[in-house]
Structure 1
Amino acid sequence: MTDPDRERPAEADDEQPVDAEAFYEALDARGRPVVTAAEVAAALDRPAGVVDDALSGLESDGDVGRLDVRAAKTAWYAPGRADADERITVFEKRRDVIVDQPAQYTRALLTQFAHLENTNREGGYVYTVREEDVWNAPYATFPELVSTVRSALGGRYEAIEEWIEGQWERAHKFRLATHEDGYVVLEAKSADLLGNVAEPRLDDGVLRARMGDETAWVAEDRTAELKRTLYEAGYPVQDDRELETGDDLPFDLDLDLRPYQADWIARFADSGSGVLVGPPGSGKTVAALGVMADVEGETLVLVPSRELAGQWHEEILERTTLSPEQVGEYHGGAKEIRPVTIATYRIAGMDRHRSLFDSRKWGLIVFDEVHHIPSPVHRRSASLQTKHRLGLTATPVRETEDQEEIYTLVGPPIGTDWEALFEAGYVAEPEVEIRCLPWASPAHREEYAASDGHGRRQAAATNPAKIREISAILHENRGSKAIVFVEYIDQGDAIAEALSVPFISGETPHARRSRLFDRFRRGAVDTIVVSRVGDEGIDLPDAEVAIAASGLGGSRRQGAQRAGRTMRPVGKARMYVLATRGTEEEDFARNRTKHLAARGVRVRETEPVAVVDPEDASATPDGGGVGFEAER
């Protein structure tokens, strides 16, 4: 067969003009009203640089419109043309936005200032603009924020914009600052705010004395309490304190920063504190090293596990000019306080160790997996004295709905939209599939029906039909590195035995766990089964496939963390969520992938590959009688 690409010169596409007609064809091909230059280039099969230059020329002629949004790339649209597939309906009084068939670009914009409330199978998305969404919007000025609002909604909506502006102003009513004599001061925009809002709500002793009509002296050890109380009252507090720092610690980086990582570092330098929010694989650890180099102060890194402490240690020594004598670990396996110290949250919060950390004047504290901070065990570490606080997370959501405390205890969000990193090729966008399976046998279905509460959830989660579906998925993706996540130890053992692969759980000895993870990283093992120990705090690069076999009753954050194990620039990236049909697992599967959908990840439901006939007499309680629909 003749290759059609060989029948024309390679540079032929480059020579074809990108005119308005070609641009409109690209719009029609993409099925949306707004596109990036890269999408036009892909639709027309032209170089992205050529297309970008051509679109700039068409803009000057009035044939093409430009949208410049701080949180996303430049996008282009055809003035006066509407999209038939993507329909946006705005309910101004309720501040609800309903979008049918939203493009990834639109979802990425909406995520900057709205909360995804719900999705349905038909491709409908329901967003709500809440107070905290405006307070935590990643913008330095209100005009930047409103520009994104207009781009996402396709026009101006005065009622919503006025409400957003009011919330923006509320977030700038109170400010913590350092007095020239060294103590902490609360500054209010007016005397009424201090006297009628702050003072009545704060407990005795938080404000030590009035200093003026609009200022008060704050008890230094109760600043976190002050910020949390006023936040709950609807008034986020800007923290502009000048805190003391320890000895200088200058060093250089042995790495090249991506443009968005350099932007994160610059934005952190402007604010002095904040939380880097980006998808797994986007290089938040590398950006944190850049922040450390920029701060040039002694640094405490807090992590949830010893494994992650070791990974940080290796990363610091490999990517910076810091010497081994300058970097230490402090946890159950080591007790070293150095200019850069990596400790676990649990150790840092224990009374008998806390004085060691309190006595040091840190220039920076890095809170890895910062979504843990609101929990009682980890909250104590947030009050450690430091000049700068940096949080790292892909998923700042918590089922207890106290995620806003992440920003009050550490700092405002700093990050980029996931869609931009997917499109630029820095991170592989995962394909998320939900597969609902029938029961392995009538006996298993009857066991479920006879159970209640936790027993019902466990019966659905451990449906043996999942073992054959996992085997089928691995066969579909043969040659790819895969992680199977489970909630229950017995299920993990059963899957591992059926697949002849390792199972890693909290019961696995630390040394063996480290060896198995290392073998997985090196490719000596291409499939592993893990319990919750693998949800976070362990670096598993190059995992192209993630399978959630159970644990769907967990959190949205857990679902995003598991999908995130595939988010690396390695080509394809896939996550499969398995649920037992006709049980509450179905709803859990949809709800727990909602956070991914809000971040621009496409989630779809597909039919299982393995066939299970629950009426088959040969079906056995251990999952027998299950066969493949076809050899793939």
Structure 2
Amino acid sequence: MSTADVTLRFEEGTIRVETDPPDADLGLPHTEEDPRSKTRRAPAFRYAALRQHLEAAGIDYEDRVLDASNLPDLYSGYELRSYQQDALDAWEDRDTLPQWGVLELPTGSGKTVIGVKAIEKLQTATLVVVPTIDLLEQWRRELEAEFDVPVGQLGGGEQRVEALTVSTYDSAYLRADELGDRFGFVIFDEVHHLGGEGYRQIARLLAAPARMGLTATFERPDDAHEVVGDLVGSKVYEIAPDELAGDHLAPYDIKRVEVELTDEERERYEADQKVFRDYVIQSGIDMQSGSDYQELVKRSGNDPRAREALLAKQRARDVMMNSEGKVETLESILSRHREDRVIVFTAHNDLVYRLSERFLIPAVTHQTGAAERREILQSFREGDYSRIVTSNVLDEGVDVPDANVAVVLSGSGSEREFTQRLGRILRPKKDGRAALLYEVVSVETAEERVADRRR
């Protein structure tokens, strides 16, 4: 045992706290007694808070937690815009825990640049965690270009750790307890993903005392962003697209286009809605309550009427989301914007392929292979294609080439989804053109309420 009163060590995703004498009562927060080793333990993410407590209490301690690789002096040539500097300053000025916090900025506003400058400031081994292979490759290219050092990669067929490493959430989840002492700083890109049950463990098992979350939309409808706040820090900076439009992002406009169902579609929609409504009324289920909706889903497993009600609701949703009026409206929009770069968003793959075939537009869905998707996006970037149609796969986590027109034919009531789709057209245009988003909605259907919720 060291002559220090306390020794901190990393051990399989925990901080082992050794005291001399072993039964010393130091009032250490976040720790529990471990009778097997006769020490106290805390989850690894409490490392920064433990150090802060020991220092504030004037307790001598030996810190053997981090085993991070050394880096050469890092320098980035980026010069931050005023709002980017404000975001970085807000993250650095956090009082409670050193350098924790979430930054919420619109897509296209340069969140990656803020992360790069934070790495430059801290000069410590850093892990960047991202949700997709596209973002993995994007971050790796950026770090290699800015710092001219080897950059490790976990995911996409590689498992190589360097002092600067980029990992997918999936790979980090599998290796967090093993790598938890290797990094002094962790950046969670698209940090709202950390709210997922499994992914939370990544942040819990890492000891990294400095933590940054980046996102365009922090709040989650399931309130799991509160868990993220405990693991990375609360939101310390936010700026809306409206505040950047015209100066740092393209000015934009949103137009809602209302379309009517055909007589046949209306008949099918109303019939299926009636089946659903009748069951809900008779069963006393409150559809405004998420728990009641889950009860309906559970009932459908052994109640044929509940199952039919859910199927009827899905059929009605398919009618309003994929109506013929929407297809005709898209034809008009595409004709009007022949000279523009257009991304068409839908909620369903079936509609994507229907539109792709009808208008001869390249399609990108979850079923599109990685190589084909890269080829399509590269051709869009180079101007060989002027329009693409996609389902949710391009909402986030993909480096989408510049476009100035988006058409939302269908989607969920998620504000995040809508914000991300808008963000795909907000990068400043060389010719100063404004961005335009069309939101196509079937009138006198539940889609009107869905559209209102996301706005």
The match for 2:424 among 565, 569, 574 is: 565
Map residues 205-224 of structure 1 onto 2, 5 A cutoff: 211=26, 216=29, 218-219=31-32, 220-222=41-43
1:275 equivalenced with 2:91 (yes/no): no
CA contact (8 A) 1:289 1:316 kept: yes
Cα distance in 2 between the residues matched to 1:472 and 1:211: 72
CA distance in 1, matches of 2:224, 2:24: 30
Correspondence for 2:184: 363
- Structure 1 CA distance for aligned equivalents of residues 230 and 154 of structure 2: 26
Of 367, 375, 383, the match for 1:507:
367
Question: How does 1:474-553 map onto structure 2 within 5 Å?
Answer: 474-553=334-413
Q: How far apart in 1 are the matches of 2:8 and 2:178?
A: 23
State the SS of the aligned residue for 1:493.
Answer: helix
* Cα displacement (A) at 1:408: 1.7
Alpha-carbon distance, 1:346 to partner: 1.4
Q: Give deviations 1:77-117, integer Å, cap 9, x for gaps.
A: xxxxxxxxxxxxxxxxxxxxxxxxxxxxxxxxxxxxxxxxx
Give the aligned partner of residue 173 of structure 2.
349
State the secondary structure of the residue aligned to 1:362: coil
Aligned to 1:300: 127
Q: What secondary structure is seen at the aligned counterpart in 2 of 1:361? A: coil
- Structure 2 Cα separation of the partners of residues 590 and 535 of structure 1: 19
Q: What is the identity, as a one-letter code, of the residue corresponding to 1:382?
A: A
1:582 is paired with a residue of what secondary structure? coil
For 2:316 and 2:390, the matched residues in 1 are separated by 22
**Alpha-carbon distance between aligned partners in 1 of 2:193 and 2:29, rounded to the nearest angstrom:** 32
SS in structure 1 at match of 2:385: coil
Please, what is the CA RMSD of the aligned residues?
2.8
Task: Report the CA distance between 1:226 and its aligned residue.
Answer: 12
1:584 to 432, 446, 449: 446
1:559 counterpart letter in structure 2: F
Could you tell me which of 124, 132, 136 is aligned with 1:309?
Answer: 136
Distance in 2 (CA, whole Å) between partners of 1:246 and 1:225 is: 18
Instruction: Measure how far apart 1:406 and its partner are.
Output: 2.3
Tell me, yes or no, if the aligned pair for 2:30 and 2:42 is still in contact at 8 Å: no
Counterpart-to-counterpart distance in 2, 1:544 and 1:370 = 27
In 1, Cα distance between the equivalents of 2:46 and 2:79? 39
Gap change, CA 1:373 and 1:480, over 3 Å in 2: same
**What TM-score results when the alignment is normalised by the length of structure 1?**
0.55
Please name the residue that 1:335 is paired with. 159
Summarize the alignment of residues 72-91 of structure 1 with structure 2, pairs less than 5 Å apart: none
1:161 alignment counterpart: none
Secondary structure of 2:378 counterpart: helix
Closer/same/farther in 2, CA of residues 556 and 209 from structure 1, 3 Å limit: farther
Structure 1 residue 209: Cα displacement:
8.6
Say if 2:210 is the partner of 1:388: yes
Name the aligned partner's letter for residue 461 of structure 1. Answer: M
Distance 1:450 1:420 in 2: 42
Instruction: Work out the CA distance in 2 between the residues paired with 1:447 and 1:225.
Output: 56
Q: How does 1:341-490 map to 2 (within 5 A)?
A: 341-350=165-174, 353-358=175-180, 360-383=181-204, 384-418=206-240, 421-422=243-244, 425-439=247-261, 441-451=262-272, 452-490=312-350
- Cα distance, 1:209–1:401 mapped onto 2, change above 3 Å: farther
Q: By how many angstroms is 1:274 displaced? A: 1.2
Give the AA of the match of 1:258. Answer: R
Paired residue for 2:117, among 282, 290, 298? 290
Q: Which residue of 1 aligns with 2:281?
A: none
Shift of 1:299: 1.1
State the Cα distance separating 1:223 from its structure 2 match.
7.1
Counterpart amino acid of residue 410 in structure 2: S
- 1:376 is paired with a residue whose SS is coil
Identity score, percent: 30
Q: 1:420 to 1:505 in 2, by over 3 A?
A: closer
Contact 1:211-1:217 within 8 A present in 2 as well? no
Aligned residue pairs, count: 373
- Note if contact 2:68-2:163 (Cα within 8 Å) is conserved in structure 1: no
Whole-angstrom CA distance in 1 between matches of 2:162 and 2:233: 25
Aligned residue type for 2:134: E
- Which portions of structure 1, spanning 4 or more consecutive aligned residues, are displaced by more than 3 angstroms? 179-184, 208-212, 219-227, 237-245, 353-356
Q: Normalized against structure 2, the TM-score is what?
A: 0.75
**CA distance in 2 between partners of 1:344 and 1:462 (Å):** 34
| 8 A contact 1:245–1:387 mirrored in 2 | no
Q: Residues 559 and 592 of structure 1 are in contact (CA less than 8 Å); yes or no, is this contact kept in structure 2?
A: yes
- Contact 1:244–1:387 (8 Å) recurs in 2: no
SS in 2 for 1:435: strand
Q: Distance in 2 between matches of 1:374 and 1:253?
A: 31
Equivalent residue letter for 2:188 = F
Deviation at 1:438, TM superposition (A): 0.4
Contact 2:361/2:388, CA 8 A, preserved across alignment: yes
Match of 1:255 in 2: 78
Please report how far the alpha carbon of residue 510 of structure 1 lies from its aligned counterpart in structure 2 after TM superposition: 1.1
Seen in structure 2, the aligned counterparts of structure 1 residues 528 and 579 have a Cα distance that, compared at 3 Å, is: same
Structure with the greater relative contact order (CA < 8 A, sep ≥ 6): 1 or 2?
2
Aligned to 1:181: 6
Within 1, Cα distance between the matches of 2:51 and 2:235? 14
Distance 2:76 2:207 in 1: 26
**Could you say what secondary structure the match of 1:261 adopts?**
helix
Task: Give the aligned partner of residue 35 of structure 1.
Answer: none
Q: Is the deviation greater in 296-305 or in 568-577?
A: 568-577
Pick the structure with greater CA Rg.
1
Q: Could you tell me which residue of structure 2 aligns to residue 265 of structure 1?
A: 88
SS in 2 for 1:513: helix
Q: Give the match's secondary structure for 2:381.
A: helix
2:406, 2:267 → 1: CA distance? 30
User: Residue 563 of structure 1: SS of its match in structure 2?
Assistant: helix
User: 1:386: how far off?
Assistant: 0.7
Q: Is the 8 A contact 1:282 1:421 kept in 2?
A: no
